[in-house]
Amino acid sequence: MKDAIPAQTKRALYVLSVAYLVQATGALSVAGSMAPIAREWHLSNAQTAYLISIFGVTFALTAPLLQVYFGHLRRRLQVLLGLAVFSSAALLFAASPNYIVLLASRMLMGLGAGFIGPVLGALGSNLVKREEQGSAIAVVLLGLSVAGMVGIPVSAWLSDAYGARTLFLVVGLAGIGTAALVLALVPDQSAGERVQLATLVSLVTRARSLSAFLVVFFVAAAVYATYTFISPIVRDVYHGDTHSVSASLTILGVAGVMGNLFVTRAARRYGAVSMLLAGMAILAIDIVILWWTRPHLYWFYAALVVWAFGTDILWPSQQRRIIELAPDLRGISLAVTASFVFCGIGFGSAVAGWVYPSYGFGGVLASSLLLMVLAGASLWISNIAPAIADRRVPS
CATH value at residue 85 = 1.20.1250.20
pLDDT the model gives residue 228: 66
Domain coverage including residue 174: 1-194
- Residues in the chain predicted with pLDDT less than 70, given as ranges, are 1-3, 31-32, 45, 148-149, 228, 242, 385-395
The last residue of a domain, from among 194, 220, 237? 194
Residue 184 and residue 36 in one domain: yes
175 and 292 belong to one structural domain: no
pLDDT of the residue at 390:
38
Residues 30 and 98 placed together within one structural domain of the fold: yes
Looking at the structure, do residues 94 and 1 belong to the same domain, yes or no?
Answer: yes
Q: How far out from the chain centre does Cα 12 lie?
A: 20
Q: How many CB atoms lie within 10 A of CB 100?
A: 9
Phi, psi of 238 (to 5 degrees): -105, 5
Query: Do both 239 and 350 map to the same domain?
Result: yes
The whole-number pLDDT of residue 379 equals 92
Query: Residue 119: what pLDDT?
Result: 85
CA distance 370 to 226: 12
d(CA 46, CA 25): 21
Residue 19 and residue 113 share a domain: yes
Q: How many CA atoms lie within 13 A of 108 on its CB side?
A: 19
Task: Let me know if residue 390 belongs to a domain.
Answer: no
Identify whether the C-beta of residue 241 lies closer than 8 Å to the C-beta of residue 231: no
Q: How much is the pLDDT for 385?
A: 59
Domain termination site, one of 177, 194, 211: 194
Q: What are phi and psi of 194, to 5 degrees?
A: -80, 120
Cα–Cα distance between 115 and 110 in angstroms, integer?
9
Closest CA to 26 of 109, 107, 105: 109
349 and 314, same structural domain?
yes
Measure the CA–CA gap between 194 and 332, rounded to whole angstroms.
9
The tally of CA atoms less than 13 A away on the side-chain side of residue 367 is 27
- Listed residue (189, 182, 132, 137) closest to 5, CA to CA: 132
Cα 369 to Cα 225: distance, rounded to the nearest angstrom = 9
Round to whole Å and give the CA distance between 78 and 327.
18
Q: Are residues 22 and 95 in the same domain?
A: yes
For the chain, the helix, strand and coil percentages under 3-state DSSP, each to the nearest 5:
85, 0, 15
CB 219 within 8 A of CB 374: no
Question: At 222, which amino acid appears?
Answer: A
Query: Is residue 391 in some structural domain?
Result: no
| Chosen domain end from 161, 194, 227 | 194
The pTM is what?
0.74
Residue 84 pLDDT: 97
Q: Are residues 152 and 250 in the same domain?
A: no
Q: How many structural domains does the chain have?
A: 2
Residue 236 lies in a domain: yes
> Which residues make Cβ contacts (< 8 Å) with residue 121, sequence separation at least 6?
137, 140, 141, 319, 323, 330, 334
42 within some domain = yes
Co-location of 359 and 219 in the same domain? yes
Q: Are 255 and 364 within one domain?
A: yes
Report how far residue 379's alpha carbon sits from residue 286's, in angstroms, rounded to the nearest whole number.
20
Q: Is 42 exposed, middle or buried (0-12, 13-18, 19+ CB in 10 A)?
A: exposed
How many beta carbons lie within 10 A of that of residue 121, not counting itself? 29
